[in-house]
Amino acid sequence: MPPLPDLKRRAREMLRPLQDKLVARGAAPVQLTYAAVGLSTAVGAMIVVIPGILPGTHAWLVLLPAALAARVLLGILRDMLAAEQASQTPNSLLLREIGDALSDILLYLPLALYPGMPAGLIVGFVALGLCTEIAGLAALQIGAGRRREGPMAMNDRAIVFGIVGLIVAMDPSAVRWLPWLLVPASALALTTIASRMRAALRASAPGTDARGNGD
């Protein structure tokens, strides 16, 4: 599998024609943030509602990894638009952070209500994910840049939940094995929090570069 930076570069090349069309129409990066939140809301609502309408049907959960892939592409396209328009204002950055957090909550937490899911582990993993982003933002308070280190950053958590959706869609009985995925993922989230805190302290030291790592 190609490394993540290569995948992102290829995604940018693939999205370049769409970016040009959006620029020509005067689209703003914040509109893509709204689109991501709307997508997460729609799929999260389906996760809550469909089991009551179609009990015993699970194959439709492939929509979860599909929605997560779409969210990642929307995020890349949003960053491309922001770079093209030089529109990284404090307001747009604030909306980006809030939008990303909302998207995570609206898309992931409904899985805790899905029949058979390990609800406590899902809620805990979502909470730890939010804490990793808080740790990244808290770095700004001590003069460091926004931290985005892994090993369990936003896109990594999307991969974990995408795997969860695929597992349950293909074999609902495998849900009992999900703790073997979610427990190590939660441990990696704790490691990520510590990693971002250490990186922030190093970056805030006199004479060091305070810029945070990119996604």
Q: Which residue has the higher pLDDT, 23 or 88?
A: 23
Write the pLDDT tens digit of every residue in 133-179: 999 999 988 888 899 988 999 999 999 999 999 999 999 999 999 99
Between 1.20.120.1760, 2.40.160.20, 3.30.450.40, 1.20.140.10, what CATH number should domain 4-204 receive? Answer: 1.20.120.1760
Mean pLDDT along residues 5-27? 81
What confidence category does residue 204 fall into, taking pLDDT thresholds of 50, 70 and 90? confident
In Å, what is the CA distance from 198 to each residue of 13, 144, 156, 192?
Answer: 34, 11, 20, 10
Structure tokens at 15: 């999205």
pLDDT at 211: 56
Domain residues of the chain, as ranges?
A: 4-204
Contact between residue 9 and residue 74 where contact means Cβ atoms under 8 Å apart: no
Q: What is the pLDDT of residue 98?
A: 94
Q: How confident is the model at residue 92 (pLDDT cuts 50, 70, 90)?
A: confident
Cβ-based neighbour number of residue 152 at 10 Å: 25
Query: Percent of the chain, pLDDT > 90?
Result: 64
Q: What's the CA gap between 37 and 107, in Å, rounded?
A: 9
Cβ-contact 182, 118 below 8 angstroms? yes
pTM of the predicted model, to two decimals? 0.89
